[in-house]
């Protein structure tokens, strides 16, 4: 039986006048790998940030294993959700092993600062944690590089190290934000195998990715965000076959497009403006072209000065232009 690990209900995130995520309901069940896709700017990372407490949603709730999460990243990690970032965030001057040990701080008595400062309490906790960290490094294939500085690892291995560090907090759900960005096809294939292996450990996975082949091979279920709204959700086959998804990626309008109403308004306004222009031309034909040209010149002068008034720089340049 599938049980929900993560349940987001009616999540909306606004930044001033911009609604980046709009009324999204979303569930990840135990044992699932779920993909979140969508064109650039669709709201995927914003939604991730709402799930992990980095943003407090303007509306809606996020629950993990039936309990509503507090909107604080460290409490979300403590509850059992770990994540990686679109832009890798490692401790560049710490070793590979130390990076994973830091990731264990929510599961040890020692706090993050103790881990960073390597105090005496941390040394004992480190001994207890080291075997676990080495296990994780072996799992992602980096055990031989335990003493390398993180910044010296090739890009693909840095991404794996970030995953190992996330796993160190012993999550029940792992969120991966573009885990294959910048990887070559071979590295992407290894990451795919790694994600399957993570799921086999009993950890549910939610992944954002632009590489469609990766997503459709990997995921049990895929949700598509477009302009902040969930457009389609289903198996890889269902999503791939949905013409609205193709249209959204190609930037073509489609029935039910979240931007459809706005596009219709713009079209109507343009049509109205064209009609008004046509009427003006007809009037000019009727009642003396010379007068109307003079009128329209004076109107455009007034318009220009209006724009210039509202922006100091343009006002200056207009003034200079006139002086010359
Ligand atoms: N902190 C913020 N303040 C204001 N606007 C933001 C903020 N974060 C994101 N946005 C806006 O919200 C919208 C969604 O952005 P988001 O980064 O979530 O999209 P995305 O689907 O993750 O895009 P990409 O695939 O390019 O990473 C964009 O219009 C973006 O400019």
User: Cβ neighbours of residue 173 under 8 Å, at least 6 residues apart?
Assistant: 5, 6, 28, 64, 80, 81, 82, 203, 204, 205, 206
Token pair 């995927």 in the structure block, residue:
44
Residue 229: C-alpha distances to residues 64, 175, 212 (Å): 22, 19, 19
The complex scores an ipTM of 0.96
Cβ 43 under 6 angstroms from ligand 1: yes
Give the residue, by CA position, lying nearest to ligand 1 atom 4.
15
Distance CA 129, CA 252 (A): 52
Cβ 37 under 6 angstroms from ligand 1: no
Distance CA 298, CA 295 (A): 5
User: Cβ neighbours of residue 193 under 8 Å, at least 6 residues apart?
Assistant: none
Q: Please, how many CA atoms are within 13 Å of residue 68, restricted to the half-sphere of its CB?
A: 7
The whole-angstrom distance between residue 287's C-alpha and the CA centroid of its chain comes to 59
pLDDT at 59: 95
Distance CA 51, CA 73 (A): 9
Cβ 199 under 6 angstroms from ligand 1: no
Cβ 19 under 6 angstroms from ligand 1: no
Element (H, E) at 15: strand 4-15
* Four-residue CA torsion sign, 257, 261, 265, 267: positive
Torsion of CA 210, 213, 216, 217, to 10 degrees: -130
Distance CA 223, CA 199 (A): 18
Distance CA 6, CA 50 (A): 12
Cβ 287 under 6 angstroms from ligand 1: no
Token pair 């490692």 in the structure block, residue:
90
Q: Which of 263, 266, 259 lies closest to 228, judged by CA? A: 259
Total residue count of the chain as it appears in this document: 324
Tens-digit pLDDT profile for the chain (324 aa)?
A: 678 999 999 999 999 889 999 999 999 999 999 999 999 889 999 999 999 999 999 999 999 999 999 888 888 998 999 999 877 788 888 999 999 988 776 666 666 676 677 777 767 766 778 889 999 999 999 999 999 999 999 988 999 999 999 999 999 999 999 999 888 899 999 999 999 999 999 999 999 998 888 999 999 999 999 999 999 999 999 998 888 888 877 665 555 555 566 666 767 777 787 777 666 655 544 444 333 333 333 333 333 333 333 333 333 333 333 333
Q: Which of 17, 46, 180, 226 most suits a substitution to test ligand 1, by most atoms within 8 Å of the C-beta?
A: 46
């Amino acid at each position: 039986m599938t049980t929900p690990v993560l349940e987001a209900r009616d999540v909306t995130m606004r930044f001033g006048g911009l609604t980046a995520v709009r009324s999204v309901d979303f569930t990840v069940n135990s044992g699932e790998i779920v993909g979140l896709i969508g064109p650039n700017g669709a709201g995927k990372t914003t939604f991730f940030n709402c799930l992990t407490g980095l943003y407090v949603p303007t509306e809606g709730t996020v629950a993990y294993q039936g309990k509503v999460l507090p909107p604080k990243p460290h409490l979300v990690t403590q509850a059992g959700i770990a994540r990686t970032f679109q832009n890798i965030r490692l401790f560049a001057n710490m070793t590979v092993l130390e990076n994973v040990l830091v990731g264990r701080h929510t599961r040890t008595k020692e706090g993050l600062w103790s881990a960073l400062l390597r105090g005496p309490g941390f040394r004992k906790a480190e001994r207890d944690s080291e075997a676990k960290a080495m296990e994780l490094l072996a799992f992602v294939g980096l055990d031989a590089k335990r003493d390398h500085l993180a910044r010296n690892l090739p890009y693909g291995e840095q991404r794996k190290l970030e995953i190992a560090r996330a796993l160190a907090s012993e999550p029940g759900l792992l969120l991966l934000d573009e885990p294959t960005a910048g990887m070559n096809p071979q590295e992407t294939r290894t990451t795919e195998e790694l994600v399957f292996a993570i799921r086999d450990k009993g950890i549910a996975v939610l992944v954002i990715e632009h590489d469609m082949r990766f997503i459709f091979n990997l995921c049990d279920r895929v949700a598509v965000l477009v302009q902040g709204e969930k457009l389609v959700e289903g198996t890889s086959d269902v999503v791939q076959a949905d013409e609205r998804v193709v249209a959204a990626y190609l930037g073509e309008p489609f029935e039910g497009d979240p931007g459809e109403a706005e596009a219709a308004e713009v079209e109507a306004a343009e049509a109205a403006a064209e009609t008004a222009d046509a009427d003006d031309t007809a009037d000019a034909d009727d009642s003396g072209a010379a007068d109307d040209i003079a009128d329209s010149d004076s109107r455009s002068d007034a318009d220009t000065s209006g724009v210039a008034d509202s922006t100091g720089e343009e006002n200056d340049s207009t003034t200079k232009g006139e002086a010359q």
